[in-house]
Amino acid sequence: MGTKNFSLDVQRLLALIKNPSAGLALRGAEDFPYGVAGAGLSIIGFFLWVLSVQHQIDRAMSFFSGIMLGSLYGFGTAFKFLLLALLSLAALAAALTLVGNRFGQRKRAWIEVVTHQGASQLMFGLGYLVSALVAFISLKLSFALTGGLLLLSLLMLVIQALELHEVDRKLTFPTVTSAIVLYVVLFSVVWVILF
């Protein structure tokens, strides 16, 4: 593959940040780099948020950790959260795709799912970066912001999966329920392995 296949248009990136649903208009393999960029920014943003929260907790506990415990969290813990973010996003995409392909009228290949769903994560990646900065001001606000971003991201991905797979309205509830149950199972396995 040439480098032309991996070029990104700044205007399109900005459009995806302003409106994550614009990811549905992307073309599968042709626009794959936008999906990778969105998923990558989301994972990196979440990782940097974990690092900033970890830093603030270490700083708050510095007196006790310096005397008794050493550093409460090492880079290993942050790396586990990086893996958790990556595997969580992969598990969610897999669950939505498997269930969407089962219940939906339109079957999608994994490359299409990564393109459409990944591109929709650009805004959330930037949100996690903002939340990482907010953590230096207020941990409570940062946790609230990140919790809201995670919930909104889940909603966005589920709604987009329903549209991508053209799930009939009568099958919306069983599709969403099945996808979330499968995701929770996959996420739990990842959680047990990492922690």
Residue 135 has pLDDT above 80, yes or no: yes
Do the beta carbons of residue 127 and residue 41 sit within 8 Å?
no
pTM for this entry: 0.84
- Structural domain boundaries of the chain? 3-194
pLDDT tens by residue, 67-115 = 554 454 566 777 888 888 888 888 999 999 999 999 999 999 999 999 9
Which of 15-19, 68-72, 141-145, 179-183 has the lowest average pLDDT? 68-72
pLDDT tens by residue, 19-43 = 988 888 888 889 999 999 999 999 9
Q: What pLDDT does residue 1 have?
A: 43
Residue 128 has pLDDT above 60, yes or no: yes
- Percent of the chain, pLDDT > 70? 90
Instruction: Look at residues 95, 99, 93 and name the one whose alpha carbon lies nearest to residue 111.
Output: 93
The whole-angstrom separation of Cα 106 and Cα 58 is 49
Q: What pLDDT does residue 172 have?
A: 95
The pLDDT-based confidence of 148 (bands split at 50, 70, 90) is very high
Structure tokens at 132: 């990482």
Q: What pLDDT does residue 2 have?
A: 44
Q: What pLDDT does residue 73 have?
A: 54
CA angle 96, 99, 105 (to 5 degrees): 105
Structure tokens at 161: 């999966």
